[in-house]
Structure 1
Amino acid sequence: MDEVAQSSGPMKFPFPFQPYLIQEQFMTELYRVLEDGKVGIFESPTGTGKSLSLICGSLAWLRDFEEKKRRLEAQALAAEGTEENGEQKTDGSTSAVIGSVSEPDWVTQFLQKKEEMDVKNKIKEDQLRRKKREEKLQQMRHNIQLKFASKRRREEDDETIRLLRLSQQILSPGGEGPALDQGEEELVLAEYESDEEAKKDSERDDEEDCEEEHVTKIYYCSRTHSQLSQFVRELQKSPFGNETRLVSLASRQNMCVNEDVRRLGTVQLINDRCMEMQKNKHDKKSEEVEGKKKRGSRLTCPFYAYDQMQFLRDKILVEVKDIEQLVSRAREVKACPYYASRYAIPAAQLVVLPYQTLLHDSTRRASGIKLKDQVVIVDEAHNLIDTITGMYSSQVTGAQLCQAHSQLAQYMERYRSRLKAKNLMYIKQILFLLEKLLGVLGGNVKQNPNFQKVSQQGTTLKSINDFLFYSQVDNINLFKVRRYCVKSMISRKLFGFTEKLKGTAVVNPVKEGPKTGGLQQFLQNLHEKSTGEGAADALLAVSEDGHVRSASPLMQIESFLSALTNANQDGRVLVQLQGAVAQSSLKFLMLNPAVHFAEVLKDCRSVIIAGGTMQPVSAFKQQLLIAAGLQPDRIVEFSCGHVIPPENILPIVLCSGPTNHQLEFTYEKRGVPDTMDETGRILANLCNVVPGGLVCFFPSYDYEKLILDHWEKTGLLKRLAVKKKIFQEPKKAGQVEQVLSEYSRCIKLSSQSAGPVTGALLFSVVGGKMSEGINFSDDLGRCVVMVGMPYPNIRSPELQEKMSYLDHTLPKTNGVSAGKVLIENLCMRAVNQSIGRAIRHRGDYAGIVLLDHRYSRPSVLGKLPQWIRNRTEVKQSFGPAFASIRKFFQTKKTTFFSPS
């Protein structure tokens, strides 16, 4: 394995084969950014080996960093040894030097002995501290359940006292409250002792002292489970595959090996059941320690065994495994991979995890991730701003508010006599909040929201403070309510309460006629009825046995209440009134994702934001980095070319069609018949010269339907079908695979026959199922046509508020407001993702045709990826453009036909 050269020549990196020049440049710049502790924005087109370059460049730096650290430690130890040897010489040079200033011998000896003792004492202190730390860790590992014993003892004593008092109340005249069913006592909230966290600081400090030390590591995150697995497979093939301690993290839904829990279906239900079974396990251990037995059996997870999870942890760190391999191994050893992987984090060198786990603050802390002085690589980051915005946005419907209020009110009435005063106070505050929030939607908690009609439909935007005043909840301390919800786990208790009283319910056919009868009837209706509008459906989860389980609406409401604790200027509340109260909603819109990304930037040594298409980069710099307080001199931009030869790509901006009709697909002009006819003529000509597959992207589903209906009437679709079989992107995700399979088979068969059909034509939509993550390599995508510019809906209240926010917080760019820059950036980011589907490897080639004269603007051209921008030709008329396209495919030795 080659060492990274620090000479003036190019750096040498371990690589499974001879890297391309652009890969060497990528790894060299990545190494420098990590070494200097900066933040890098790296763009490397798909097909250029980006994942492998990230792996080899970052792990080469980590290897050198650890080696440098070991070398410095060895030098420090050697220096201490030299000093000790030198201090033992009482008659040597040191004595002579000291004697030269007329110091008595006893003074010299005293100083030497003092320095020697100081060094020895320091070494002993370090050894004692290290030994003490190891003893604490060992004790925690083998006796982790014992820490719950004293707490459970106090809780049981308090519970005994409460039960004694309760029995006296029941037996005495006028006693209140029904007797608890067997096992029902665990649904009652434990005493909520204090709002303050100060008294737990010492306990938390002790726990942090005992935590296993985290080695310097790299956190690699991406969007999807499949992308993470692909990254791990690339690592396995790399020179670092056998020497890297890697951990793959995922959600319980992806990692759980307990089939009884997995069949619950939804993430929320799986998480709740896991936490419940985990608590039951701890309670059972505590009872065994205390020598006590409780009535009733509580389910525990057989895979949540500490010794087996530690065994699996060691296996994880020995061999690189992706999530599927890890889960398979966990089933063999009967251990929980979800928790075993988290135990392995401190010792790991590379942690692979999804966006949500790293970028969401509470999820990150719950997973045991510590970013202090670590490296973070965010891959596939072209939608990073939208991802963070979505994570911290939240929405609740009128149906959820009403259901949560009813459940919580019944819970309070059921256990009123057993709840402490502070619990009752907070439950009443939550009920008050739910009632007021539902009132904002025009609803009443005493009526079924499905049949409460909204008097005036529409959408309004309010700042956080204005919303709190408008809803009359400004006198409630939301920070304390949020803390109470987290500490008391009220949403889980409430879910258990509703499950116990109702069990599961099978969805019955829709019953005719409106139902009335208040809260209890509404809760029953949510199980018995499907409204067809989706409001109630969002609350239901179907298990494998066909039963429906109602997910806790309070958990989603907790997320919304938490969002309202953001700074007033960082978000807005969208009040959407439509149809019935059940379908109306409150949505918190996060406007400033930088405030949350700032925590990552502050803690990390270095952050790498990478993607195949990062243009326009200005959006990341302004909205995510500089807005988070990062100094511009810490930001490094790197964009490499493509591995394909320049002559293998032909990007053309076409300003007018065969009849010289100017191409402009603005909202006002794109529906003009002449514009649609001209677009059809262009496609007909392209089908004559483009071999294999031709992919045509439309700006929206509505426009796709409009233009295809027009072509059906004019007969153009029949003429297109003579040359290429026509396929259309399905709206349902489950049908995408089938369409792509048929599309691919058609192209393969047409290339093997001498018939008139020369491939296939696929109509797709920007931002749809096929604009991201689908590879149209080789004959699957010899030409990509972009019809118009896919600008977002500027009439959207959310987008208008985002534009207004940016106009007030960011400076103008070349005299253009930040809001308008945002619109253009969103458009071009979507374009770049779509046109990048065609070129996927070094030997690939394709044409790219942008249909709209607005693409010729310098500000727009500048936002194309560099490897495309450098080859783009602007053609004002169709003749020269068609000649270039025909010549391009002639040089690639493909069959061509004359234009129609």
Structure 2
Amino acid sequence: MEPSNHKFHHPYEPYDIQLEFMQKLYQCIEQKHVGIFESPTGTGKSLSLICAALTWLRDDERRSLFGEVKEGGLDWLEQAELKAQQQQLLETRKELEDKLQSIRDKNVRKQGHEYPIKKVKTDDQIQEHDLVLDDYESDRERNSKSKDEASLSSATLALLEKLQPAKSTSDEDQDQSRTRIIFCSRTHSQLTQFVNELRKVRLSSGVSDTGEQEVIKHISLGSRKNLCINPKVYRLTSTTAMNERCLELQKPGISQDQKCAFLPSKVSSEDKERVEAFKDNMIAQIQDIEDIAMLGKKMKLCPYYASRSAIAATEVITLPYPLLLQRNAREALGVEITDNVIIIDEAHNLTSAIADTLSVSMPLSHLELAQKQLLGYCQKFKNKLKGKNRVYIAQIIKLLKSCISQLQQAGNGKTVEASLLASQLIAGTGTDQIQPHKLVNYIQLSKLIFKIEGYAELLDQQAQSRLPASTNCARKQLQPKGVLAEFQSLLVALMNPASEGRFFINRGEQELILKYTLLDPQAHFEEIVKEARAVILAGGTMSPMGDWSEQLFSYVEPQRLETYSFGHIIDKANVLVRPLSQGPSGVDFDFTFANRRSETMILELASVVEKLCFHVPDGMVVFFPSYDYLALITSLWKRQTGNESAFTRISTFKQIFQENKEVNVDDLLREYSNSVISGRGALMFAVVGGKLSEGINFADKLGRVVICVGLPYPNIQSAEWKAKVEYIERMRYAKSKSEGMPEADCKIRAQAARREYADNTTMRAVNQSIGRAIRHKNDYAAIYLVDKRYATPRIQAKLPAWLKESVRSGSSLWKVVEEDCARFFEGKQN
């Protein structure tokens, strides 16, 4: 199928690289492929994604409706049936369009929304009788499947299938036949930017071949945290507690005055009318998550549940990708991925996002508090705890004691980090007979977390009420919340195969932390790839590309996986990329771990920064490998040498600003920008992987030069890093072995995979940092990569394509580099 519009309905005149991007994306979806698309920030990536995907969607809808006549044609009966179906669909669509247009007209005339609103009365106080556990029946334990189990990998689910066959449950009846675009990004703020771009696009109807336009049907989905409007629920800080409290208010048999007043009834005709009005108002115009939450508040109707009514009528669904990555979250939202198109923007750190979503960490103090809360609850309700409730709570307390003991023992040692197996965590007295999957099931079905946290909340309220009224002291949280939800996540992690992840004990800044780290992200992404029609990963800095096939798509047939790195829309003359191997005095820049503390080299770096400040107008940003190294360098630069320090000499050219872990980024950027705008100039010291290395715009005068000092390789002595690279080495070795390679070659390839992963991880972070400067077509900047390793083909090959084109290797003599810099900025100042 070819696109119906050669410009893909782009609202502006697209550049050549945008057209190429859209053509490749269209074909990738049409061919049901997995595509990795790299397009630099400032090239209109979001609009290109929207226009290509939606043009394909409308084209596909027309193809499905009008069909392709088979050889020999259709007989009269088939033609009549097809025509009848077409006519019925057209009439249905026209009725919907007319209704939605009426709503849009009312909004334009500012007549306000006209929909039925029900008055509700809510009591947001927790009552003690709400906190008693219901009797827990063992048959429910055997035949029900925990939602937490739905987030487990296929290997874990296969194991559980042997241990405890799960009873299948029917999904809610929904029309899922329509193909949809599911668009994901990291945060709701990024999705809001996408929604703003979506509003610019006008498309031909998918049910008409006349070119008539049809408004895009879109919905933003979120969690209860984003959409809940019931104070009984949204004031809870733990997501798990919010979920359980919400479900508690819907239980059959609960009195009407205790139920959620915002939840629509399935049998009330009045509530059905309200839901229908909510759906129509939601899709009549393209709205973001805040608009939908506000609509729910105005209508006194739960937007979390009511928004599902619109899914069947939508073409585009937006949601943060943590909600896509977990099957239980998708099912809770009613999102179906089968045969739909998945587009993940800002996907450069998708593998780490998957790992973060399914990794868990819990400080020792939280484990101790969880134990304290359980014991306190048992003491309060001991006469009402019977049967399975008593058994399972006792098991949870034993597990908590075992974990606490492991951390305390580790605290007596001198090691900063320790790795341990899941079996070691449950090695305490009486814990070896505990089955974690049954405990997870029990916690889910019994609503234990809501009950325990509700009791803790009640105690907190009582303690606050006893504070003297005359003190006027601010109410504050007396203890952390959500600790039992953290422990529940640890229990889920205990069920994962040892090959997928590992437990660690880390010595944090203040206390010991128990952490589960996922090592194999692809096991939890494979289901999405196999069920979706097409999967698109897009980002400004997806390079290096090698990791994607190895770490996320090793199961995808090579012919189905496509990678693209598109150029920039700026003139090549507006970008200068220069590897810098030596300084003005001829000192080599070798920031490897063994040499990075060399004072001679650090002072040589100061000389480079000082001389560049002389030639470069406006703002400069220098990225360092870590906060600790930045602190070391600035301390040496501030040391007096002769009449003044290197730091003082640099500050005569530009005002210096410095990122640190505690700094308020907004305030720091405001001061930096003011210094640039005032004409004083500014120099920002930042950290690769820090707060300023991602999502921050150093466009135009704010970033005329970006300097990257050294290569920010991870700490190779870290237990987590060792576990990750050992896993990668093991996987590559097994793959080579399965291909029949000799033993020696298998080992060589495994070691090469280890180095490749380290290089790729490092350069992806570098690429993300240096991409902060060039943000639009007329921007210009110079990029200096200060380390002799940047001059090697191995490292330069991992730069994005558009930056590789601008690399000037040439002579390493400082005189040549300085003249290059001066020529670059001549005539470019505004």
TM-score, normalised to structure 2, is 0.82
**Greater Cα radius of gyration, structure 1 or 2:** 1
Q: Deviations over 1:175-204 (max 9, x none)?
A: xxxxxx985265223332423227999998
Partner of 1:536: none
Choose the corresponding residue for 1:347, options 307, 313, 328: 313
Does structure 2 conserve the Cα–Cα contact (< 8 Å) formed by 1:505 and 1:547?
Answer: no
Does structure 2 conserve the Cα–Cα contact (< 8 Å) formed by 1:278 and 1:301?
Answer: no
Choose the corresponding residue for 1:833, options 754, 757, 768: 768
**Please, what is the CA RMSD of the aligned residues?**
3.4
Q: Distance in 2 between matches of 1:5 and 1:338?
A: 36
How far the C-alpha of 1:728 sits from its partner, in A, is 1.6
Choose the corresponding residue for 1:213, options 158, 176, 192: 176
Q: What one-letter code is carried by the residue in structure 2 that aligns with 1:387?
A: A
How far the C-alpha of 1:859 sits from its partner, in A, is 1.1
Does structure 1 conserve the Cα–Cα contact (< 8 Å) formed by 2:582 and 2:788?
Answer: yes
How far the C-alpha of 1:351 sits from its partner, in A, is 0.6
2:720 counterpart of 1:798? yes
Q: Distance in 1 between matches of 2:415 and 2:573?
A: 56
Choose the corresponding residue for 2:589, options 658, 663, 678: 663
Does structure 1 conserve the Cα–Cα contact (< 8 Å) formed by 2:411 and 2:512?
Answer: no
Counting matched residue pairs gives: 733
Partner of 2:494: 564
Alignment of 1:202-281 (within 5 A): 207-208=170-171, 210-240=173-203, 243-258=215-230, 262-264=234-236, 266-268=237-239, 272-273=241-242, 275-276=244-245, 279-280=248-249
2:714 counterpart of 1:748? no
Partner of 1:22: 17
How far the C-alpha of 1:559 sits from its partner, in A, is 0.3
3-state DSSP of counterpart to 2:417: strand
248-257 or 481-490: bigger deviation: 248-257
Does structure 2 conserve the Cα–Cα contact (< 8 Å) formed by 1:791 and 1:827?
Answer: yes
How far the C-alpha of 1:554 sits from its partner, in A, is 1.6
Gap change, CA 1:426 and 1:74, over 3 Å in 2:
farther
Partner of 1:807: 729
Q: Distance in 2 between matches of 1:829 and 1:470?
A: 42
Q: Distance in 1 between matches of 2:278 and 2:244?
A: 20
3-state DSSP of counterpart to 2:50: helix
Q: What one-letter code is carried by the residue in structure 2 that aligns with 1:636?
A: E
How far the C-alpha of 1:623 sits from its partner, in A, is 0.5
Does structure 1 conserve the Cα–Cα contact (< 8 Å) formed by 2:694 and 2:772?
Answer: yes
2:682 counterpart of 1:760? yes
Gap change, CA 1:653 and 1:507, over 3 Å in 2:
farther
3-state DSSP of counterpart to 1:442: helix
Partner of 1:653: 579
How far the C-alpha of 1:776 sits from its partner, in A, is 0.8
2:56 counterpart of 1:61? yes
Alignment of 1:201-600 (within 5 A): 207-208=170-171, 210-240=173-203, 243-258=215-230, 262-264=234-236, 266-268=237-239, 272-273=241-242, 275-276=244-245, 279-280=248-249, 283=252, 287=255, 298=258, 300-302=260-262, 306-307=271-272, 308-442=274-408, 454=412, 458-465=416-423, 467-468=425-426, 473-503=431-461, 505=463, 545-548=475-478, 550-576=480-506, 583-600=511-528
Aligned-residue identity in percent: 36
TM-score, normalised to structure 1, is 0.76
How far the C-alpha of 1:816 sits from its partner, in A, is 5.0
Partner of 1:863: 798
Gap change, CA 1:472 and 1:347, over 3 Å in 2:
farther
Choose the corresponding residue for 2:701, options 744, 754, 779: 779
Choose the corresponding residue for 2:532, options 593, 599, 604: 604
3-state DSSP of counterpart to 1:215: coil
3-state DSSP of counterpart to 2:142: coil
Partner of 1:104: none
Does structure 1 conserve the Cα–Cα contact (< 8 Å) formed by 2:620 and 2:683?
Answer: yes
Choose the corresponding residue for 2:143, options 165, 174, 197: 197
Q: Deviations over 1:636-669 (max 9, x none)?
A: 1111100001111000001101111111112222
2:617 counterpart of 1:691? yes
Q: Distance in 1 between matches of 2:2 and 2:61?
A: 14
Does structure 2 conserve the Cα–Cα contact (< 8 Å) formed by 1:789 and 1:827?
Answer: yes
Q: What one-letter code is carried by the residue in structure 2 that aligns with 1:220?
A: F
How far the C-alpha of 1:684 sits from its partner, in A, is 1.2
Gap change, CA 1:185 and 1:29, over 3 Å in 2:
closer
Q: Distance in 2 between matches of 1:278 and 1:482?
A: 17
Partner of 2:820: 884
How far the C-alpha of 1:373 sits from its partner, in A, is 0.9
Does structure 2 conserve the Cα–Cα contact (< 8 Å) formed by 1:189 and 1:493?
Answer: no
Partner of 2:89: none
The runs of 5 or more residues in structure 1 that have no matched partner are 86-118, 124-180, 289-296, 444-451, 510-542, 751-756, 895-900
661-670 or 416-425: bigger deviation: 416-425
Partner of 2:30: 35
How far the C-alpha of 1:431 sits from its partner, in A, is 2.0
Partner of 1:614: 542
How far the C-alpha of 1:468 sits from its partner, in A, is 4.7
3-state DSSP of counterpart to 2:606: helix
Q: Distance in 1 between matches of 2:507 and 2:688?
A: 29
Q: Distance in 1 between matches of 2:461 and 2:246?
A: 18
Q: What one-letter code is carried by the residue in structure 2 that aligns with 1:340?
A: A
Does structure 1 conserve the Cα–Cα contact (< 8 Å) formed by 2:395 and 2:431?
Answer: no
Gap change, CA 1:782 and 1:191, over 3 Å in 2:
same
Q: What one-letter code is carried by the residue in structure 1 that aligns with 2:183?
A: Y
Q: Distance in 1 between matches of 2:396 and 2:292?
A: 42
Gap change, CA 1:73 and 1:645, over 3 Å in 2:
closer
Q: Deviations over 1:305-364 (max 9, x none)?
A: 754344212221221111222233333222222222233223321110001100122222
Does structure 1 conserve the Cα–Cα contact (< 8 Å) formed by 2:3 and 2:55?
Answer: no
Q: Which has the higher contact order (CA 8 A, sep 6+)?
A: 2
Choose the corresponding residue for 2:565, options 639, 645, 653: 639
Q: Distance in 1 between matches of 2:580 and 2:284?
A: 56
3-state DSSP of counterpart to 2:768: helix
Does structure 2 conserve the Cα–Cα contact (< 8 Å) formed by 1:191 and 1:419?
Answer: no
Partner of 1:13: 8
Q: Distance in 2 between matches of 1:84 and 1:18?
A: 40
How far the C-alpha of 1:475 sits from its partner, in A, is 2.7
Q: What one-letter code is carried by the residue in structure 2 that aligns with 1:712?
A: K
Q: Distance in 2 between matches of 1:191 and 1:263?
A: 28
Q: Deviations over 1:759-790 (max 9, x none)?
A: 21111111111111111111111111111111
Q: What one-letter code is carried by the residue in structure 1 that aligns with 2:451?
A: K
Gap change, CA 1:59 and 1:182, over 3 Å in 2:
closer
Q: What one-letter code is carried by the residue in structure 2 that aligns with 1:884?
A: D
Q: Distance in 2 between matches of 1:624 and 1:507?
A: 53
Q: Distance in 2 between matches of 1:704 and 1:762?
A: 12
Q: Deviations over 1:795-849 (max 9, x none)?
A: 1110011111111112579785222222211210111011101100001111001
Q: What one-letter code is carried by the residue in structure 2 that aligns with 1:210?
A: D
2:658 counterpart of 1:739? no
Gap change, CA 1:815 and 1:656, over 3 Å in 2:
farther
Alignment of 1:177-196 (within 5 A): 184=129, 186-194=131-139, 195-196=141-142
How far the C-alpha of 1:482 sits from its partner, in A, is 1.3
Q: Deviations over 1:160-188 (max 9, x none)?
A: xxxxxxxxxxxxxxxxxxxxx98526522
Q: Deviations over 1:478-500 (max 9, x none)?
A: 11221111111211111123333
Does structure 2 conserve the Cα–Cα contact (< 8 Å) formed by 1:382 and 1:611?
Answer: yes
Does structure 2 conserve the Cα–Cα contact (< 8 Å) formed by 1:788 and 1:850?
Answer: yes
Does structure 2 conserve the Cα–Cα contact (< 8 Å) formed by 1:464 and 1:571?
Answer: no
Q: Deviations over 1:582-634 (max 9, x none)?
A: x32321111101110111112111100110000111111100111xx222221
Partner of 1:539: none
How far the C-alpha of 1:744 sits from its partner, in A, is 1.5
